[in-house]
Amino acid sequence: MGSLHLVMSPLGLTSCLLRAGRGDVVLLLEDGVLGRLPPLTEARWLPSFFILEAHRQRRGSPSLEGVQPIDMVGFVRLTESHPVVVRWY
């Protein structure tokens, strides 16, 4: 099973994308929802992407194609199913 990457800033997303790979999960939260993602339809090596919907709405960020919105229950489920959690600030 891959790692869960918690991304809290746009800079953190840049660093995370250099290390996360296929089988990993990236969760955008806090200011990480403002980061720019690569084209998700073209890269099969990319991890799965999720976004904490409440944080996206609070910051006025648009919905992102290929990124699944989740709530706090979904966040907890991700942490329960991924024993390795990496935080990116």
pLDDT in tens, 10-64: 999 999 999 998 899 999 999 999 998 877 655 567 789 999 999 999 999 998 8
What pTM, to 2 d.p., does this model score?
Answer: 0.91
Residue 55 is part of which domain span?
A: 4-88
CATH of the domain at 40: 3.40.1260.10
CB under 8 Å to 80, separation ≥6 — which residues?
none
- List of long-range contacts for 58-61, beta carbons under 8 Å, 24+ apart: 59/31, 59/33, 59/34, 61/33, 61/34
Give all strands of the β-sheet with 85-88 in edge-to-edge order.
68-70, 48-52, 25-28, 4-7, 85-88
What is the distance between the alpha carbons of residues 76 and 16, in angstroms, rounded to a whole number?
Answer: 20
